[in-house]
Amino acid sequence: MPQARVLRRTIALNMTPNPVKLITPKRFGDSRGWFTEVYSDKTFAAIGIDCGFVQDNHSLSKPQFTLRGLHFQTPPHGQDKLVRCIRGRIYDVAVDLRRGSPSYGQWVGAELTAENGHQLFVPVGFAHAFLTLEDDCEVTYKVSDVYAPDCDGGIRWDSVGIDWPMPAGATPELSDKDTRLPALADLDSPFVYDGNPLLPLA
């Protein structure tokens, strides 16, 4: 159908039922540079992302190996996130926190860079974090609900068994808040499994 042909020209479609999705918007280049469509309601609905985003966030992390996470918001203000790196390189991670999920506590990760243009969609029910792989990284992300301090939550970065791409023995740069987060084993998760297990990223 014509609409499907248009969608395939603007984004690499990921039609798996995987709740976490790695997305690659297509870039159209010429001698001047390139153009890309990073978000479209219609295009993203076609790959199963039909939440309504209400806010865009933008962070700068100056030191290499800055780690922000693992964060989430609980109901009724759970947040779907669409993450991309617009300067530098990051390793972006999602952890399944849905009670009853066969993939509970499991994680997936992907390198997002300004050069590759990849985006990671992290739905409600997953903790999110990223590690900067070089100095002066900028990250932008859309969220489907506003920041709600009473629903703010997280787990420790080192309590899940994530294979962070850091030199052996290195410790990431963390906020004071993130150093005090509980371990995954101590979490009483408010999220419920919806029938779609976490799969490897396509």
Would you please indicate which residues are annotated as catalytic (active-site) residues? 71, 141
CA distance 8 to 23: 12
For the chain, the C-alpha Rg in angstroms (whole number) is 17
87 C-beta neighbours (distance < 10 Å), count: 15
Residue 85 contacts residue 132 (beta carbons within 8 Å): no
How far is Cα 199 from Cα 202, in angstroms, rounded to an integer?
8
User: In angstroms, what CA-CA distances link 128 with 34, 52, 57, 190, 196?
Assistant: 30, 19, 14, 16, 18
Question: Cα–Cα distance between 22 and 39 in angstroms, integer?
Answer: 13
Q: Which two structure tokens, joined as six digits, stand for 60?
A: 């700068």
Q: Which of 26, 21, 20 is nearest to 38 (CA)?
A: 26
